[in-house]
Structures are given as structure tokens and as C-alpha cells.
Amino acid sequence: MKTILAAYPGVLKGTGCSILSALQDLPSAPWPALRSKMEKHLQVISVLQWVISFLAMGAAGTVLLIYMFCTDLWVIAAMYTAWLIFDWNTPKQGGRRSSWVRNWTMWTYFRDYFPIRLIKTHNLLPSRNYIFGYHPHGIFSFGAFCNFGTEATGFSKKFPGIKPSLATLAGNFRMPVFRDYLMSGGICPVNRNSIDYLLSQNGTGNAVVIVVGGAAESLNCAPGKNSVTLNNRKGFVRLALQQGSDLVPVYSFGENDVYKQVIFEERTWWRLAQKRLQKIIGFAPCLFHGCGFFSSDSWGMVPYNKPITTIVGEPITVPKIEQPPRDMVDLYHAMYINSLTSLFDKYKTRFGLKESDILHIH
């Protein structure tokens, strides 16, 4: 207080108004800076919880359930196991999405960390069903999860009447607790039964989001690399024809930039080991790193905060053909590749790429 009065000697002789005026002239407390720092930490925590959940929640839930059977809590474990058996097919039948979970404030912090944006280029009709092809996979497909597994970027407002269902590994839905966490976001297994149900027995206005490149594509992702695994991926096109669902190309600029990865040469021992494990466990064991929790200069599991911009392209109208011939599948597959390439070329210079950059399709 003495310091304050020494800095403003006129206050000693003035009135209460003089005191108030002097206090207002003092440097303001660093609340904006403190708030910004707190928000940054919350953003990091929201992203890190998803990374850890994806990597460990399923295994941790399984171990915990087994452990509970060996304790006095075995009754709870038995009841949950009975529920799990009863509820086993729910992920294949539209799941159990929760608007409350999809609108958690945590997801806005998740969005703002990178940040992630969703751009709409065309209207989608609620009277139709759709298959979104998402590219590229990246390491964790952050753009796909944020845009289609939450409402952080306002999908339902931008595409009224359309309900997105992000498809991921079916094995994740065999994991206790984790399966429920995934279903609450409208995430479904990427298998034939699940997708058939959504596109044929769940009315219209459904959009199944398939990360077409899958685990194989994640092995080749790296900052600045614009390549997708698509040439031999025709199953989603065949499925679209069988269900009469329109195809929508989706490209996320920046998805490959959030982690650095060691990419092994083809036919090396490490590469063969990665592919072998991919076939056994369903996903690719990538050797990657981001930054540390407290410093962007250290290594860690936190992704780099690079912008991710997801562009939803123009739908390709697809007829319904229950048994599409190969040439018909090839035709619509070629149309899809052309549409995806055009989408990339149209927007690439707006998001940090050069006019000479091209999309490599493998």
C-alpha cells in the first residue's frame, strides 16, 4: 500500500474519487494472460485424454474388470459382464449416441488446440444416405473424430438433418467401458453388418464416415506429405452401390502434420514387422512422436498444434444396384478419385500448399 501511495502522492491529499482514479490507473492484474495460459493447458489435457483413451482405455477397462472378479466387487463385475453380453450387438445396430457427450465443452478445447475447422461446400439432402470417404488417415484421425464424433465444429448446424457415424476398428467395441465411450459419440464398427444397418434399416439422413486408407495409410503419413491409399480400396464404393448411398469425398489439410513419424523403407525388417502386426491386431504400430506436455521443444505424446481444415466435398449420386458388376464399381471408383483430386486442387493453396503440390494416390 505504501508503494501505491508513493507512486500516487496526490492521493494523500485527495478525496475518495482521487483514490479510485489512482487505482484505475494502476497496471491491471495479468488475468488475460493467466486465463489464456489456463485455456492452453485445458486444450492440451482435452487432446491428451483422447489419445490416452484411444490407446489404453480398452485394455485398462478389461484388466479392471478381470481384477474386480478377484475382489469383493465381483458382483458388480458379474452384472457388468451380463450387461455386456446382452448389449453385445448394439454397436452393429446403430449404437447408442449421446447428444450430451457430443456437446461436451471439453471438445471445444480439443478443437481449439490445433485448431480444427469444418468447411461445407455443398448441401446434403436429409432424404438421402451417404458414405463419406475421409482422407488422409494421419496417426489418430483427429479431424475425423472432432468433426464427426463430436459437435465441436457444428456439424449438425452446417448439415441439418444429417447424422454422422464415424466408423472405426470393430475390435474397439469388444473392450469394456471404451465401447460405451465410443458409442456415445456416434462412432460405429467399420464392418459390413454395422454399415448395412445404418444405410438400410435406420431411415435416411445417415452419413457413415469411413477413413478409407485405414491402418496401411497411417504407416506413410508425415508432415508435408499429401498421399492417400485409395487405388485398391473399392469396397466402400461397392457398398455405396448396393445401398444406393451417395459418395462424398472429404479431405483434411494438416491431418498429417500433427505428429512426426519414422517411416521405414519397404522390405526392411521393421516395415515387415509393422505390416505383420497390423494384420494381427488390426492397426499399425507406428513409431511417432509429438511434443511434451510442458514444452513444445521436448518429445511426447501431445500432437503439435498445427491447423486441421476438413473440406466436405460435393456428393456423387449413386444408383442402387444390389449386385453391381466390376466395371460399374470401377466407374464410380474412378469418379470418386477424380472428385477427391479436384477437391484437393481447389483448396490446396488456401491452406499452405503450393499450386505445384499434387495429391499422390497409391
For residue 13, pLDDT over 80 is answered with no
Closest CA to 138 of 290, 281, 16, 337: 290
What's the rounded Cα separation, in Å, for the pair 56 and 223? 25
- 8-state DSSP, 222: -
User: What is residue 265's predicted lDDT score, i.e. its pLDDT?
Assistant: 80
With a pLDDT cut of 90, the percent of the chain lying above it is 75
At residue 21, the pLDDT reads: 55
Residue 273: per-residue pLDDT: 82
Rounded mean pLDDT of 301-317?
A: 97
* pLDDT score at 33: 76
- Which pLDDT does position 133 carry in this prediction? 98
Q: Bigger pLDDT: 24 or 266?
A: 266
Strand order through the sheet with 246-253: 116-120, 308-312, 246-253, 130-135, 206-211, 163-168, 188-189
Check: pTM over 0.85? Answer yes or no: yes
Tell me the range of 20-24, 264-268, 335-339 where mean pLDDT is highest.
335-339
Give the burial class of 216: count Cβ atoms within 10 A of its Cβ; 0-12 exposed, 13-18 middle, 19 or more buried.
Answer: middle
What is the rounded average pLDDT of the residues 138-166? 97
- Find the helix packing angle between 235-243 and 192-200, rounded to 10°: 30
Q: Which phi and psi angles does 130 have, rounded to 5°?
A: -140, 150
Task: Please check whether residue 123 is in contact with residue 56, taking contact to mean a CB–CB distance below 8 angstroms.
Answer: no
| Predicted local confidence at residue 71, as pLDDT | 95
How much is the pLDDT for 4? Answer: 43
Average pLDDT score over the chain: 90
pLDDT of residue 267: 80
Phi-psi region of 74 (alpha: psi -120 to 50; beta: other; left: phi over 0): alpha
pLDDT value, residue 8: 44
Cα separation, 284 vs 265, in Å, equals: 15
pLDDT of 295 > 90? The answer is no
- In which region does residue 292 sit, left (phi positive, over 0), alpha (psi from -120 to 50) or beta (all else)? beta
Q: What ranges make up the beta strands (E) of the chain?
A: 116-120, 130-135, 163-168, 188-189, 206-211, 227-228, 246-253, 260-261, 288-291, 299-300, 308-312, 360-361
Element (H, E) at 98: none
Answer yes or no: are the C-beta atoms of 205 and 161 closer than 8 Å: yes
Please state, in angstroms and rounded to a whole number, the distance separating the CA atoms of residues 225 and 20.
59
Q: What local confidence, expressed as pLDDT, does residue 5 receive?
A: 41
Q: What is the mean pLDDT of residues 199-216?
A: 93
- Mean pLDDT lowest among 47-61, 271-285, 332-346: 271-285
User: What are the cell numbers at 172?
Assistant: 474397439
- C-alpha cell, 49: 485424454
* pLDDT tens-digit readout, 14-56: 444 454 454 455 455 566 777 788 999 999 999 999 999 999 9
AA identity, residue 329: V
What pLDDT score was predicted for residue 43? Answer: 95
196 has pLDDT over 50: yes
Q: For the chain, what are the domain ranges?
A: 36-361
What local confidence, expressed as pLDDT, does residue 339 receive? 98
